[in-house]
Amino acid sequence: MSKFTRILMFVPGVFLTTWGLSRLADGNDAMKQLVAGAIWLCVAFFVGRITSRVLKSFGELDRELAERNNRQQELLATGMPASARILQVRQTGVVIGRTELEVRLTLQVEHARLGSYQAETETIVPMVALPRIQPEQTVEVRVDANDPRQVAIVV
């Protein structure tokens, strides 16, 4: 919705509310109903705007997680095998359906051809696998041949 459209929707509600409040002192019941209706119109408008923004942000988060998961799955299928020691595990705050958790991992990757280097990745981990995804644990990973900093953990 454009800014112009929002203003067009908002201005009549404000006008009716202020005009009606000025007439409210007259004690006219029809005027009171008009003012109450205008106020509820403004409230409904703002609640609708807030709800649409919240739903939009959830949709964007869902798309972002799906894209990241697709990239991880592709890397797991096509990446070069390596091992990595987990240096740090941080929660991102994203929980998926009470069974999965997104975490950010700092890894020390060990690859026969590429050597040893640090990499960071965000991945979705099943809750039952969390005990294996702890600092100082060694895990199997897949490394992108074109960009070795892109790493997917094999859970």
pLDDT of residue 138: 95
Side chain identity at 149, as an amino acid letter?
Answer: R
Handedness of CA 106, 100, 59, 147 (dihedral sign): positive
- Burial class for 152, CB neighbours closer than 10 Å (0-12, 13-18, 19+): buried
User: What are the b/e assignments for 119-130, b being 16+ CB within 10 Å?
Assistant: bebebbbeeeee
- pLDDT by residue for the chain (155 residues), tens only, comes to 555 555 556 666 666 666 666 665 556 676 667 777 777 777 777 766 777 676 666 667 677 777 877 888 888 899 999 999 999 999 988 888 888 888 999 999 999 988 999 999 998 899 899 899 999 999 999 999 888 889 989 88
